[in-house]
Amino acid sequence: MSSSALPIDRSRRRLGQALGAGAALGVLAGCATRPPASGVRTNGKVLVVGGGFGGATAASYLKRWGGDTVDVTLVERNARFISCPLSNLVLGGSRRIEDLTLGYQGLRTRGVSVLQDEVLDVDPVNRTARLGSGARQQYDQLILSPGIDFLFDEITGFDRRAQDTVLHAWKAGPQTVALRAQLEAMPDGGTFVMSIPKAPYRCPPGPYERVCQVASYFKAHKPRARIVVLDGNPDIVSKKGLFLAAWNGAYKGMIDYRANALVTELDAAGRTVTTELGDRVKGDVINVIPPQRAGDLAARLGLLNANGRWAQVDWMTMRSTAVSDIHVIGDATFAAPAMPKSGHMANQHGKLAAAAIIEQLNGRSPVTPVIANTCYSFVDDRSAMHVASVHQWVADKKTLEPVAGAGGLSGAASELEGQYAFAWARNIWDDMLS
Ligand SMILES: Cc1cc2nc3c(=O)[nH]c(=O)nc-3n(C[C@H](O)[C@H](O)[C@H](O)COP(=O)(O)OP(=O)(O)OC[C@H]3O[C@@H](n4cnc5c(N)ncnc54)[C@H](O)[C@@H]3O)c2cc1C
Q: What is the DSSP string of 200-248?
A: S-S-TTHHHHHHHHHHHHHHHH-TT-EEEEEESSSS--SSHHHHHHHHH
Integer Cα distance of 139 and 120 in angstroms: 15
Residue 346 CA to ligand 1 centre (angstroms): 8
pLDDT along the chain (434 residues), means of 10: 32 46 36 39 89 98 96 98 98 98 98 98 97 98 98 98 98 98 98 98 98 98 98 98 98 98 98 98 98 98 98 98 96 97 98 96 93 98 98 97 96 98 98 98
Cβ–Cβ < 8 Å for 317, 356? yes
Q: Which of 84, 420, 424 to mutate to test the pocket of ligand 1 (most atoms within 8 A of CB)?
A: 84
Name the residue with the closest Cα to ligand 1, atom 6: 85
State the pLDDT at residue 283.
98
Q: Which of 370, 374, 371 is nearest to 408 (CA)?
A: 374
Residue 165 CA to ligand 1 centre (angstroms): 22
Ligand 1 closest atom vs CA 350: 25
Does the beta carbon of 344 sit less than 6 angstroms from any atom of ligand 1? yes
Does the beta carbon of 83 sit less than 6 angstroms from any atom of ligand 1? no
State the pLDDT at residue 41.
59
Does the beta carbon of 341 sit less than 6 angstroms from any atom of ligand 1? yes
DSSP secondary structure letter of residue 68: G
Does the beta carbon of 75 sit less than 6 angstroms from any atom of ligand 1? yes
Integer Cα distance of 16 and 11 in angstroms: 9
DSSP secondary structure letter of residue 333: B
Residues near 286 by Cβ (< 8 Å), separated by ≥ 6? 166, 193, 266, 268, 271, 272, 273
Q: Which of 99, 57, 104 is nearest to 76 (CA)?
A: 104
State the pLDDT at residue 23.
42
Domains and CATH numbers, the chain: 8-149+293-370+416-433 (3.50.50.60), 152-290 (3.50.50.60)
Does the beta carbon of 53 sit less than 6 angstroms from any atom of ligand 1? yes
Name the residue with the closest Cα to ligand 1, atom 41: 119
Does the beta carbon of 52 sit less than 6 angstroms from any atom of ligand 1? yes
Cβ–Cβ < 8 Å for 98, 173? no
Integer Cα distance of 262 and 58 in angstroms: 36
Residue 308 CA to ligand 1 centre (angstroms): 20
State the pLDDT at residue 43.
80
